[in-house]
Amino acid sequence: METAMAPQAQSATPAGSKSPPPPAPAGRARSHRTAVPWWFVLPALAFFAFAVLVPSARGAVYSFTDWDGLARSFSFVGLEQYRALFADENARDALVHTLLIAFAVTIVQNAVGLLLALGVNSRIKSRNVLRVFFFAPAVITPVVTAYLWKYLYSPEGAVNAAFEALGLGFLAQNWLGDSDIALWSVVAVIVWQFAGYSMVIFLAGLQSIPKEIYEASDMDGAGPVRRFWHIVRPMLAPAFTINLMLSLVGGLKLFDQVWVMTQGGPGGATDTLSTVIYREAFQFNAFAYSTAMAVVLTLFVIVLSGVQYGYLGRQEKRNS
């Protein structure tokens, strides 16, 4: 009898106490946990939609009109602005310049940034000072940098004066006034300013590589070049993805440095899509035309960055 009554006594609940509620279904609890964070993101998303998405959508609509940016009324003209855009020789030249700047900056900036990162990742005593020195230009605003280099590039500026002092006067140029070299002079300024930024990202990737891997490669007799190509380079794939994406998108959208240093000159030799968009909208009041050009630029950025991200993502998976 005692053994038979024991389970009943254990299972009995005290008088007046409530039984615990049944557990919620697993699916409902999981959906509740995932839905809560969206309430915290909602204010930022609402502000982003109000400040970016809605104006962008309205701008895309204006590209199908003849609005000049000032009149209260406008008419829909279909694809007329886009036909004029692709028939405009200046716009085509600006597109070529934009692509040249974007690809040149992407290649040179990341190459210089990688070399700097490899250098300051060594055991030299001044590595911390050099890191600060190389990264410092990246924290200067682009407009200030452009005005500084506009002065340095002037015919009587410091660049030509340095060549004269070194006995290399034949290298002195009208850096921003010669249509053959003005574009590349602007590219050099961009690389000078942001190579240190790429360096920091590559340096973070280098310092995340375990020392044991370097020691194992030394034991296997791998030289510096072979170790970099077969060990360091694959493990830097995430850093390459970030740097290449940032530099490509930044090159495609470039405006500040070009406008301050050359305003697209001489003779349109440094015009980019961004400078033409600004000029058409705010100097010629061709708002609908400039909006159509902005839509084309946006599509270029989306397509090129998407293709690049897809390729680099596959490379990361292959190296992982």
Residues facing 38 on adjacent strands: none
Rounded to the nearest 10 degrees, what angle do helices 237-252 and 89-120 cross at? 150
> From the CB of residue 288, how many other CB atoms can be counted at a distance below 10 Å?
27
pLDDT of residue 5: 45
Asked if 301 contacts 249 with a C-beta cutoff of 8 angstroms, the reply is yes
What six digits make up the tokens of 71? Answer: 């009149």
Q: Which residues contact 231 (CB under 8 A, 6 or more apart)?
A: 209, 213, 214, 217, 222
Q: Is the pTM of this model over 0.85?
A: no
pLDDT of residue 27: 54
Residues facing 76 on adjacent strands: 65
Q: How far is CA 48 from CA 147, 246, 297, in A?
A: 32, 21, 20
* pLDDT higher at 109 or 318: 109
- pLDDT bin (cut points 50, 70, 90) of residue 142 is very high
Average pLDDT of the residues in 138-150 = 96
**How many Cα neighbours within 13 Å face the side chain of 253?**
13
Average pLDDT of the residues in 305-318 = 87
Distance CA 10, CA 18 (A): 16
Which has the closest alpha carbon to 145: 155, 134, 136? 136
pLDDT of 7 strictly over 90 = no
Poorest-pLDDT segment among 17-26, 102-111, 240-249: 17-26
Residues making up the chain, counted from first to last:
320
3-state class of 105 per DSSP?
helix
- Backbone phi and psi for residue 264, each to the nearest 5 degrees, phi listed first: 90, -5
Residues facing 65 on adjacent strands: 76
Q: Which residues contact 232 (CB under 8 A, 6 or more apart)?
A: 206, 209
Asked if 271 contacts 97 with a C-beta cutoff of 8 angstroms, the reply is yes
Mean pLDDT over each residue of the chain, to the nearest integer: 87
Distance CA 199, CA 228 (A): 16
Distance CA 147, CA 226 (A): 43
- Structural domains of the chain in order of their starting residue, each with its CATH number: 95-319 (1.10.3720.10)
Average pLDDT of the residues in 149-156 = 95
pLDDT of residue 20: 57
Cβ neighbourhood burial of 110 (10 Å; 0-12, 13-18, 19+): buried
Cβ neighbourhood burial of 192 (10 Å; 0-12, 13-18, 19+): middle
